[in-house]
Chain A
Amino acid sequence: MSDSLEFKYDVDGEDFTRVGHASTDIKKKLKMIGIAPDIVRRVSIAIYEGEINMVIHAYGGEITVEISEDDIKMVLKDKGPGIPDIEKAMTAGYSTASENVRNLGFGAGMGLPNMKKYTDSIDIETEIGVGTTVTMHVHLT
């Protein structure tokens, strides 16, 4: 098996102006590696939505992107409050974002639904008061 590439990003939970740092950087890297444009778009959108969620709900976190021969694995880990009702959170249009966040153009309740839409698999592990880990895969073949 060939080696995989791994990129790590810290997401600052305080700073809305830094949202998009991980996703735009990974987009550049995937383009450079020669990944197909459609895959690049799907991966970067999924990560961007994850970044926003981390800043809005979870005081930041850590994103790891692992690129292997036939798969891109994204792990978004935070130490936030956890998701009380995953089914609700996965429903398009459902949001618990504050007024302030909505004024920035977010909080349409599309975050997790978009992440699901643009990836081949999504797995959410969450524990109230401990944090949430979202693992997503996009297949390359």
Chain B
Amino acid sequence: MTIRDLIEKGIFETVNAGDEPEKEITSVFCCDLLSIAMSRGVEGAAWVTVMGNINTLAVMTLTDMSCIVLAEGTRMDETGLQKAQSEGFTVLRTEKSIFDASLEIYRLIHGE
């Protein structure tokens, strides 16, 4: 499933679509501690988290994760939003819990 596919499903609100719509989402990663995400983040994963700041974006790009999904009704702060827009990162958000959001992405990846 590509980023474009996920956005077009319309299950999450698009905060910033980003400039790599054809990038493949290969798995789901959940973590809110950035240092752990840094060491365990999975390349190509959609990262479901409640941490919506500029550092989340840095960790996403350094670990080659494909996009960020802010769950539990959290939002990207203003600085992070500007960074996502200027660098073309994909950020989505949802009121759903981390578990539910992750499960939905998992099911889409695995065609369930």
Contacts and interface: CB of A to CB of B under 8 A. Distances in A.
Interface string B4-38: 00000000000000000000000000001111111
A49 to B, nearest CB: 7
Contacts of B38: 45, 48-49, 110, 114
B58 interface: yes
A23 to B, nearest CB: 6
Interface string A101-141: 00011111111001001100000000000000000000000
Contacts of B58: 19-20, 23-24, 48
Given A20-B54, A20-B55, A45 B79 contact: no
| Secondary structure type dominating chain A contacts | helix
A41 B62 contact: yes
A59 B84 CA distance: 26
A21 to B, nearest CB: 9
A108 B57 CA distance: 18
B37 to A, nearest CB: 8
B79 A24 contact: no
Given A48-B59, A110-B36, 15 more contacts: A16-B54, A20-B54, A20-B57, A20-B62, A44-B62, A45-B38, A45-B39, A48-B62, A52-B35, A105-B37, A106-B34, A110-B33, A110-B38, A114-B38, A117-B39
B53 A105 contact: yes
Contact of A104 (B39, B53, B57): B53
> Counting chain A CB atoms within 10 Å of each CB, which of B35, B53, B59, B61 scores highest?
B35
Contacts of A52: 35, 55
Interface string B45-73: 00000010111111101111000000000
A111 to B, nearest CB: 6
B47 to A, nearest CB: 12
Interface in A23-57: 23-24, 27, 37, 41, 44-45, 48-49, 52
> Counting chain A CB atoms within 10 Å of each CB, which of B33, B37, B63 scores highest?
B33
Given A27-B61, A41-B63, A114-B39, A105 B79 contact: no
A17 interface: yes
A19 B55 contact: yes
